[in-house]
Amino acid sequence: MRTSGASGRPEPRAASRGTPRAPVTGMSTFPAATEQKQKGDLLVEALCALALVGLIVAGGASMVHVAAQLSARNASFDAGLDACRGLQARLEGVSFARLPELFGAPPSARAAVLDTADGSAPAEWAELAARLPAGSLRATLEGVGAGGGAAPFDAAVALRVTARAAWDDGPRTRTVELVHVRF
């Protein structure tokens, strides 16, 4: 066995020809390559972590956007429901016999309509329609006979009052409708 100069430690023999000898200190023969590999691995891990954080942030932003859209849509439906309830409350104050007269219908008619869009509704309904985002209120009065079918107002045993709010919501028209039957 040979010894390495100053330290006096024995030098290990190579197992076969062409194999580089490992130094006595136990360090790799290519220390720079190992450090470079570690730096590359660290860079790949950092980029993967950054991509995951980006996905999480994008998902969170998307959830906030959808929540804002749903909140706005629900607010418009609440406004439509409030307008319909207000209309129903105003029609409740009118007696059964005077409802066809309020709608401007003759006693022989089976149905009548009042609409804020065409101006046939009373002027005080404009306040209710103003609650809607670019919409209108429509009230429909229908006579109901003894068998449940349509009947003229003068022979009706009940009156079906339908309050409908409609408004534009982008490309769609949204509606809320309340139906009340009066005997």
First-to-last alpha carbon distance for the chain, in angstroms, is 118
Task: Determine the pLDDT at residue 40.
Answer: 82
Task: Tell me if residue 47 falls in helix, strand or coil.
Answer: helix
Residue 107 is assigned to a structural domain of this protein: yes
DSSP string, 1-23: --B-TTT-PBPPPPSSTTPPPPP
Beta bridge partners of 167: 135, 174
Q: Containing domain of residue 127, as a range?
A: 58-182
pLDDT tens digits for 81-91? 999 999 999 99
Task: Determine the pLDDT at residue 3.
Answer: 57
Residue 23 is assigned to a structural domain of this protein: no
User: How many domains does the structure of the chain reveal?
Assistant: 1
Q: Which backbone phi and psi does 10 adopt, to 5 degrees?
A: -75, 145
Please say whether the beta carbons of 26 and 11 come within 8 A: no
DSSP string, 106-144: -TT-SEEEEETTTT-S-TTHHHHHTTSTTEEEEEEEEEE
pLDDT tens digits for 51-79? 999 999 999 999 999 999 899 888 888 98
pLDDT tens digits for 116-145? 989 888 888 888 888 887 889 999 999 999
Task: Determine the pLDDT at residue 11.
Answer: 60
Residue 18 is assigned to a structural domain of this protein: no
Model confidence at 1: pLDDT above 80: no
pLDDT tens digits for 142-170? 999 998 899 999 999 999 999 999 998 88
pLDDT tens digits for 91-109? 998 888 899 999 999 999 9
Could you tell me the pTM of the whole model? 0.64
Q: Please state, rounded to an integer, the average pLDDT across all residues of the chain.
A: 84
What is the per-residue burial (b if ≥16 Cβ within 10 Å, else e) of 37-53?
A: eeeeeeeeeeeeeeeee
Model confidence at 182: pLDDT above 70: yes
Residue 176 is assigned to a structural domain of this protein: yes
Residue 131 is assigned to a structural domain of this protein: yes
